[in-house]
Amino acid sequence: MENRRYSFAFDGNEANVKNRVGSNVYAFEILKYLHETTLVRSDIHWTILLAQSPEEDFPPENNLWHYEIVKPTKFWTQWALPIHLFKNKNVYDLLYTPGHYAPRFSAVPYVSSVMDLAFLKFPDQFTNRDAFQLKHWTEYSVLKAKKIITISEFSKKEIAQTYGLPLEKIEVAYPSYAMIEKYSNLRWKSFVKKHKLQPNQYFLYLGTIQPRKNLEALIEAFEIFYRNLAADQVHGAQAKKIREIWPQLVIAGKTGWLADKVLNRVKNSPIKDQIVLTGFVDNSLKKPLYEYAQASLLIGFYEGFGIPPLESLSVGTPAIVSDSSSLPEAVGRAGLLVNPNDPQAIAGAMKKVWTAPKIRRQTWSRTAKKHSKEFTWKKTGEKILTTLLAVVNKRENNGS
């Protein structure tokens, strides 16, 4: 075993997109970490399997890192990939797929990542095609995998219960966040001007606009918060303590499936002028967007983990999150937890942040930054690599 060399295949399609969100970011960050390991250890050869040419920001090839374009593109996972794996069954020790999907027929044993089971909990919030594919493809991927890797203890328990798996078959590799540290002030100022933002005066939701993110409740909560703020001004009892500049709600993200109800809710809001829809925000603007926010909010009903709150905490901005699913696990004691079904409670958390004295905000900021440092892509990658190696070594020790 001392001179053992490994050959791993990696399904790189989840990472091979331009505008990465969610699982795309997870896959890409793992890809980068695994590439870095080729610079310090020489016992693992990686073949990154792709349907298309790699994106420009993919790591460069070296003698231990190779990109393989597998054709045809059509029916890639269930046709092209299985054929390639069959032809190379004596080459690869293991296949790792960071998405939910693995080929139904794989001549090579595999490990698969599953982010969450939202497609089972909220099937009406997916296209019929996506819901069907996720349900059936994930099921056999999970059942046939040598190991499952997921992103939270919450998801681990759900996967085990749903598919009748022992907890030992599932490993947790917590995600981290990926933001560009240095950003262009000129670009940021242009963004602020374009969307008429008021830095330090807005609350932020950053993510895809879709029903399970509970954005209608967020808008209602913002309206309640706004009315309460106005009432405080009118009554005058707290007039000196309340800011004269009115807050904004910034909803930043691409439009997802079934977004019309949310967009119409914004359109019909009595304070629609205070609600800003920016569209998709690329990674180069995320940091200032969080830095200049009063707080970020993620009050969805269901999250496999919740990277946006971590991004927010990493720059010291408070994160208001649901007290359900994996979000308490993600923010720990650094977040403000609310009932996602209670707009009044959400509004109360917003007011708590808005009226917080400077010393409390400084305490929040220190706690937030400290907590976010517990999550790194290095830790994620190390856990995944350790899992892959353990699977191969166990199979060899068992003679299977």
Give the model's pLDDT for residue 174: 96
How would residue 76 be classed by pLDDT, with cut points 50, 70 and 90? very high
Instruction: Kindly state whether residue 385 falls inside one of the protein's structural domains.
Output: yes
pLDDT at position 205? 98
Indicate if 360 and 388 belong to the same structural domain.
no
Read off the pLDDT of each residue in 171-185 and give the average, rounded to a whole number. Answer: 90
Q: What percentage of the chain exceeds 90 in pLDDT?
A: 80
Question: Is the confidence at residue 254, as pLDDT, over 70?
Answer: yes
- Cβ-based neighbour number of residue 13 at 10 Å: 23
Task: State the pLDDT at residue 213.
Answer: 92
Tell me whether residue 204 is in a domain: yes
Closest CA to 394 of 42, 111, 12: 111
Mean pLDDT of the region 272-286? 94
Q: How far apart are CA 356 and CA 350, in angstroms?
A: 10
Nearest to 292 by CA among 317, 321, 320: 317
The pLDDT value given to residue 244: 62
Q: How does DSSP classify residue 93?
A: S
Picking from 380, 386, 391, the residue whose alpha carbon sits closest to that of residue 111 is 391
Domain with 205, as residue range(s), is 185-372
72-78 mean pLDDT: 92
pLDDT recorded at residue 100: 85
* Residue spans of beta strands (DSSP E) within 61-114: 65-69, 94-97, 110-113
Do 203 and 89 fall within a single domain?
no
Measure the CA–CA gap between 123 and 138, rounded to whole angstroms: 14
Burial class (CB in 10 A: 0-12, 13-18, 19+), 1: exposed
Spatial separation of the C-alpha atoms in residues 86 and 74, rounded to whole Å: 18
pLDDT confidence band for 239 (50 / 70 / 90): very low
Average pLDDT over residues 281-299: 95
Tally the domains of the chain: 2
Distance CA 396, CA 400 (A): 6
Q: Which residues pair with 322 in a beta bridge?
A: 338
The structure tokens listed for 6 are 């490994």
Decide: helix, strand or coil at residue 29.
Answer: helix
* DSSP code at position 109: -
Does residue 129 sit in the same domain as residue 209?
Answer: no
When pLDDT is averaged across residues 180-207 and rounded to a whole number, the result is: 95
Q: What is the mean pLDDT of residues 15-29?
A: 90
The span from the CA of 36 to the CA of 98, in Å, is 17
Note whether 117 and 131 are within 8 A (CB): no
> Which CATH number fits the domain that encloses residue 266?
3.40.50.2000
Do residue 288 and residue 384 come from a single domain?
no
- Please check whether residues 149 and 202 belong to one and the same domain: no
pLDDT at residue 240 tops 60: no
Mean pLDDT to the nearest integer, 171-177: 95
Q: Which position has the higher pLDDT, 22 or 119?
A: 119
| pLDDT (0 to 100) of residue 210 | 86
The predicted pLDDT at position 337 comes to: 98
Residue 1: inside a domain, yes or no? no
| Distance from C-alpha of 33 to C-alpha of 40, rounded to nearest angstrom | 11
* Together in a domain, 365 and 281: yes
